[in-house]
Amino acid sequence: MSSAITQASLVPLFAQAGKESTIEQFLLSGLSLAKNEPATIQWFAAKVRDPAASTPEYIIFDTFPDEEGRKAHFAGDIPKALHAHGAEFLARPPDVSQVACEILVGKVVKVDGAAEGDVKMGYQGGLRVLMEAKPGKREALKEFLKGAEAMLEGEPGTLVWYAVHFTGTDKFAVVDFFATEEGRQAHLKGKIAAALFASVEENMVGPPEIKPIDVIGAKV
């Protein structure tokens, strides 16, 4: 991971029933705005794939060089547009007090041969993994996730992989993106996933929540 990228945000958005196309168009307009934010280094919008969910869920994941970059983003046009128009398609306003996170480790590789003008930049799918450390195990889980970076060398299909810690909490997330479904499946069967589940009893309050996500737009 570049030392110039230290902060991130992971924002869940819950859509009103039947408003999926509206929120997806909003997210694509957000991508256009993110491209004009020099301190927003990466920006991904994706739909969480969960047939059992009663409310369609989306995420925005973005990265910044520092806290000032994140503050500039949250004072910018995308949050303003969400505040102005969110009631038209959101089931409830996002709780932005719970989205700031520090980047523990990351890998970013651009997709070879992505078509010019492709709003996804060649990324097709991903995973959002949420987990919570047991009391007193926050630092242990941090170190485990940092150590997982070495295992990425055996996963060429895992193009983007970020482990983050939500500021001031015992909560963590991993967000990753792939160009193919084969890459995603290989990751799920790989060493990182196996090590993660092996560490649950020692470090986590319960098994991690793993949800596939489908990319809507990306800036990398």
Helix, strand, coil % in the chain, rounded to nearest 5 = 35, 30, 35
How much is the pLDDT for 28?
A: 98
pLDDT band at 3 (very low <50, low <70, confident <90, very high): low
Q: Taking the domain 7-219, which CATH number applies?
A: 3.30.70.100
DSSP-assigned states of every residue in 115-168: PTT-TTTT--EEEEEEEEBPTT-HHHHHHHHHHGGGGGGG-TT--EEEEEEETT
| pLDDT over 80 (residue 85) | yes
How much is the pLDDT for 96?
A: 84
Residue-wise pLDDT for 141-160, tens only, equals 999 999 999 999 999 999 99
| pLDDT over 70 (residue 213) | yes
| pLDDT over 80 (residue 1) | no
Mean pLDDT of 16-40: 97
pLDDT band at 220 (very low <50, low <70, confident <90, very high): very high
Residue-wise pLDDT for 164-182, tens only, equals 999 999 999 999 999 999 9
How much is the pLDDT for 176?
A: 98
Count of CB atoms situated within 10 Å of the CB of 122: 19
* Residue 98 vs residue 126, higher pLDDT: 126
* Whether the Cβ atoms of residue 118 and residue 197 lie closer than 8 Å to each other: no
Q: What percentage of the chain has pLDDT greater than the value 70?
A: 99
Domain boundaries in the chain? 7-219
Q: Would you give the distance in Å from CA 33 to the centre of its chain?
A: 18
Q: What are phi and psi of 58, to 5 degrees?
A: -130, 165
